[in-house]
Amino acid sequence: MNNHEKINYVELPSRDLEQTKKFFIEAFGWSFEDYGPAYCAFSDQGLDGGFFQSDQASTTTTGAALIVFYSERLEETQAKVEAAGGTIIKPIFSFPGGRRFHFTEPSQNEFAVWSDK
């Protein structure tokens, strides 16, 4: 459903679309629809979006917005991220309201996962 004036879609760069897709399929069970050789889309992940071919990466050190996943089992999710080829750049730490970690996927885009447990 599209909601008037609400965030509807996010697009992220990917240095290697095939590796990015492989990572999210293995770590989170996503599926993708390809739109030509330089774009793929995902849906039903809390927010729909896509990846476009680019030499850039989305990181907080360059001022990019941080996309944060929620997990009921933080350590289990971190293990899945690592097994799928993700790199933990900030190990699990506590913050007011919960705990979280940050990781990069194979194209070096930064994400975080948090839990209130």
* pLDDT tier for residue 76 given thresholds of 50, 70 and 90: very high
Task: Tell me what the mean pLDDT of segment 41-48 comes to.
Answer: 95
- Judge whether residue 1 has pLDDT over 90: no
Q: So what's the pLDDT on residue 26? A: 98
Q: What is the pLDDT of residues 79-102, one digit of tens each?
A: 999 999 999 999 999 999 999 999
- Judge whether residue 37 has pLDDT over 90: yes
Query: For the chain, which residues make up each domain, given as ranges?
Result: 9-115
Start-to-end CA span in the chain (Å): 30
The hierarchical CATH code for the domain 9-115 is 3.10.180.10
Helix, strand, coil percent content, the chain, rounded in steps of 5: 20, 40, 40
Residue 45 to residue 27: CA distance in whole angstroms:
13
Residue 115 to residue 78: CA distance in whole angstroms:
11
Measured at the CA of 37, the angle between CA 34 and CA 21, to 5 degrees, comes to 55
